[in-house]
Structure 1
């Protein structure tokens, strides 16, 4: 990376095809943010539901407050703490509410794996927040099983391998969180490999103490831990994630840059940040790419991965975001290979799969430099 590159100056564009060719993982992506327009049109027809607005503007985040009435659930996804975020989260509720049968859920999962594969992603830790999936309340384990069937079929067809991070909603109670962990521990749904928490931290405030017991039990049960923090609020949420929730990875975490002691802790403990620059800019966390702290985090030695968060409503793909990041910050192809390596290392993939993917990346790098 060019640590002092001027983000406003032109840089050599790295072709997206070259980025797709890099073996890599994605560790911060929400299944709820990957429904294509085609997916929604088919699901709406099957459910006899009308679209909440014109199809051509359904992914326009700025319109979501206008055409979606408030719903009970307002969680998951990203977290800017703005009116736009509120509407966006309601939109996710509506969208996921279209999925009502196991067959539909499996189809959504298969489509996710196919979409990831098209970006050259070999493995994904996908975040699933069942509070969005209205038809599955009280049947969350059945939803996970249906999704797993779709991921299984995709893997059998040679598509991206996927692990599920079950995400709590910040506004859920401590008892609800503990009951969820108990169910996950007892029933052990296929492909559920981690516990997560997401939602708007600016609205809910600090939730580390509330979920401390649930995350401790998840750790004992062998579930990995990843926490949304340091996005719409400051570094305090990241400290809570580390000290109270035993987080192995932080989703977003960009506000950590304001606290030198926290940066030191992240570097010392090799905690990776699943950063999503386009999401941060689209939802108003930062005004533009040039203002984003991604280069400063890297310069400080933080292990950073580049991810899409909710790619379809944000109108992006992983290769597109990597190409923009390279152009904005002067990243070279070697830098992007570093992002690919860190994505594999930070993932919750099995040790065997990590070894195979890193070997594939080594071979790709050797061929590219020979």
Structure 2
């Protein structure tokens, strides 16, 4: 993993243009979190649906004032339900997937594992295979047009039943929908509680079927959520995982196994998990030897891009260009990209900032 060497408080600043040019992957980003304001305005008009508030403050659901560390995560998830509920036709779904690939490409991201939770997409209840067909069509077109490769992680919701999870995995294993490479699970850990045992059978079946596994854990729950993801769900990667920093034994285990954490600092700060960027444990995790990548989570409502978040991390934590090259290398390795894609991205990385 990268190590910080020269603090940016000395006046050194890393330009976002350079970060965009750096070959990299993104492993923790949601299709649900990539509707720009113009997308929502157009979709709402097409659907004949009113906006839930003034357009100028539509994304203010991310403002938090909770004192229990949860921020407005539940409100934020309800906002995602509203957004995705506006997608009602295959053409709209394909267009959203295409636009997502274009936005990733604009940030210099060569490969993405994109999380999609169909429970947010209300209009597709009972016809989830058609949703995935439409998304795959949009991503196919994007790749044909020279945009970044995007594969999908089918995410369960923590409130679903073991039976529902089993049906999902059976479909994934039998139908092998295009571009689906992994099984995931997300949702509000704090409100759902420790539910990993409920989904253990489904994740075991996914593993046996050759699907990759990535689990949201260690965000609104503590380190126990990460342990459950590893022990019960065969997690190959943890989305968030930041609260592992509270458990020295877990830190040692993560450092030894190099199970990657897909960390999203801006999301953690905006949703109230940490008060400020400087309070975020990104560097503490890295310095403990944990395999960490930097991601956006839900960039559109959070008002960000990957290069912007990398630049803020560099300024906040004193990271150098060489550090960011290391984070880029870690992102590629942590992704579920095929070997050829990984080799191509890694070959394009500069060995050091001096060689750029």
For 1:103, the equivalent position in structure 2 comes to 91
For 1:26, the equivalent position in structure 2 comes to 26
1:102–1:143 Cα contact (<8 Å) kept? yes
Q: How do 1:203-352 residues align onto structure 2 when only pairs under 5 Å count?
A: 203-352=191-340
Distance 1:121 1:138, change over 3 A: same
Cα RMSD, aligned residues only? 1.8
Q: Structure 1: which 4+ aligned runs deviate by more than 6 Å?
A: 4-7
Give the TM-score taking structure 1 as reference length: 0.92
Q: Residues of 2 paired with 1:354 and 1:62: CA distance?
A: 34
Q: Residues of 1 paired with 2:101 and 2:120: CA distance?
A: 20
Q: Per-residue deviation at 1:4? A: 8.5
Q: Residues of 1 paired with 2:91 and 2:302: CA distance?
A: 27
Q: Per-residue deviation at 1:81? A: 3.6
Q: Secondary structure at the match of 2:292?
A: strand
Q: C-alpha deviations, 1:74-107, integer Å up to 9, x for none? A: xxxxxx644x222211111111000000000000
1:308–1:318 Cα contact (<8 Å) kept? yes
1:238–1:253 Cα contact (<8 Å) kept? yes
2:63–2:270 Cα contact (<8 Å) kept? no
Distance 1:206 1:4, change over 3 A: farther
1:64–1:87 Cα contact (<8 Å) kept? no
Give the TM-score taking structure 2 as reference length: 0.95
Q: Residues of 1 paired with 2:27 and 2:353: CA distance?
A: 26
For 2:42, the equivalent position in structure 1 comes to 42
Q: Secondary structure at the match of 1:166?
A: strand
Work out whether 1:153 is the aligned partner of 2:107. no
2:62–2:271 Cα contact (<8 Å) kept? no
1:3–1:299 Cα contact (<8 Å) kept? no
Q: C-alpha deviations, 1:95-122, integer Å up to 9, x for none? A: 1000000000000000000000000000
Distance 1:213 1:164, change over 3 A: same
Q: Secondary structure at the match of 1:312?
A: helix
Which residue of 121, 126, 142 corresponds with 1:138? 126
1:194–1:224 Cα contact (<8 Å) kept? yes
Distance 1:206 1:6, change over 3 A: farther
Q: Per-residue deviation at 1:368? A: 4.7
2:64–2:271 Cα contact (<8 Å) kept? no
1:10–1:327 Cα contact (<8 Å) kept? no
For 1:70, the equivalent position in structure 2 comes to none
Point out where structure 1 has 5 or more consecutive residues left out of the alignment: 66-79
Q: Residues of 1 paired with 2:152 and 2:211: CA distance?
A: 11
Q: Residues of 2 paired with 1:27 and 1:283: CA distance?
A: 20
Q: How many pairs align?
A: 352
Q: Residues of 2 paired with 1:359 and 1:6: CA distance?
A: 28
Q: Residues of 2 paired with 1:200 and 1:231: CA distance?
A: 9
